[in-house]
Amino acid sequence: MACIFPCGEQSTGMSLGTDAIRDECFMREALALAREAGAAGEVPVGAVVVCNGEIVGRGYNRPITAHDPTAHAEIIALRNAAAHLGNYRLPGCELFVTLEPCAMCTGALFHARVARVVFGANDPKTGAAGSVLDLYAEPRLNHHAEIVGGVLAEECGELLSSFFAARRARTLLA
């Protein structure tokens, strides 16, 4: 079965090179959402949920504007996908996110039964896919997802670094 990606590439899922191109295409969609978050004054993290090669959910960080500590990009994208598909379970779906998921988001991904999680930059402060702890390798949990990190990591990390540098500069000027 061929899939058409947002950037117009096609894949049969047979080639590692094609899979890497596919992952980058969907990560670029997540990066576009991350930029929207940054423009809104939120930490620039974006996420998309993909099912059968189609984006079915989108989200970006909104905890400040939504007055909601759970409004991380992954949670917003999961909610959007669940509403779109009419099911809180998302088996066979993938999530692409610009920053390594935290423990809260990882728990939500596991409850939703997402099959695969692809992230960009590592999160050395709250990352739950190996940076701080690794919930994806915890054998006592009843669901696991395949985890792939480092897709467009430099671009994802630079977006975050630039955001925080600008925030620190504004704080110094105030």
Instruction: State the CB neighbour count (10 A cutoff) for residue 9.
Output: 13
Check: CB of residue 93 under 8 Å from CB of residue 115.
yes
Check: CB of residue 90 under 8 Å from CB of residue 114.
yes
List Cβ neighbours of 146 (8 Å cut-off, separation of 6 or more): 115, 116, 117
The catalytic residue positions are 74
Check: CB of residue 99 under 8 Å from CB of residue 119.
yes
Task: List, in sequence order, the alpha helices (H) in 13-72.
Answer: 16-39
Q: How is residue 131 written in tokens? A: 């940076």
